[in-house]
């Protein structure tokens, strides 16, 4: 049985279209795992290490992650405007995957941000500012491979 792993930005509709796309190519008994449901907030390096292997298809809208998965010898498809591409995207550098620490070798159900008492007071009240902040945090976490590796900032 083949498995499809859908990145967090992939919608259910996009996932159904991709399953249909693969069935037309002759693949049957496809099961799909949506990362945002099963492992919310999972860093990219954990996705590649824990969820992907040579029997899985990875569906993403993240171009650097798509190229990094292909460079690892995995089957990855990038979705753009309802079309699926399996070749590396030119002009996009591969994402450098952070090596996993010993604690990261165990798969977690979700990867929530740490809760602190001061957090609600620091967050902006405007929705647009909050969205910008979330985007910046997500990019920082992605760069360092998750909260577990933020200590690399000090090095």
12-40: per-residue pLDDT in tens? 999 999 999 999 999 888 999 998 888 87
Kindly indicate the confidence band of residue 135, based on its pLDDT and cuts at 50, 70 and 90: confident
User: So what's the pLDDT on residue 142?
Assistant: 66
Place of tokens 């070749």: 87
74-128: per-residue pLDDT in tens? 999 999 888 899 999 898 877 767 666 555 556 666 666 667 888 778 888 888 9
Q: What is the pTM of this model?
A: 0.71
User: So what's the pLDDT on residue 145?
Assistant: 61
Distance from the first to the final alpha carbon of the chain: 44
Mean pLDDT of all residues in the chain? 81
Specify which residues 33 forms β-bridges with.
5
Place of tokens 């010993």: 102
């Amino acid at each position: 049985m083949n498995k499809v792993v859908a990145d967090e930005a992939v919608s259910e509709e996009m996932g159904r279209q991709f399953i249909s796309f693969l069935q037309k190519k002759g693949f049957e008994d496809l099961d799909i795992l949506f990362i945002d449901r099963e492992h919310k907030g999972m860093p990219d390096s954990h996705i590649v290490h824990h969820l992907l292997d040579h029997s899985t298809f990875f569906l993403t809208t993240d171009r650097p992650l798509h190229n990094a998965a292909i460079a690892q010898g995995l089957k990855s498809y990038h979705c753009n405007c309802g079309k699926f591409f399996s070749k590396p995207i030119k002009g996009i550098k591969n994402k450098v995957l952070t090596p996993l620490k010993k604690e990261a070798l165990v798969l977690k159900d979700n990867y929530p941000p740490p809760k602190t008492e001061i957090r609600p007071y620091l967050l902006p009240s405007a929705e647009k500012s909050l969205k910008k902040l979330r985007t910046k945090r997500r990019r920082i976490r992605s760069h360092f491979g998750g909260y577990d590796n933020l200590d690399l900032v000090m090095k």
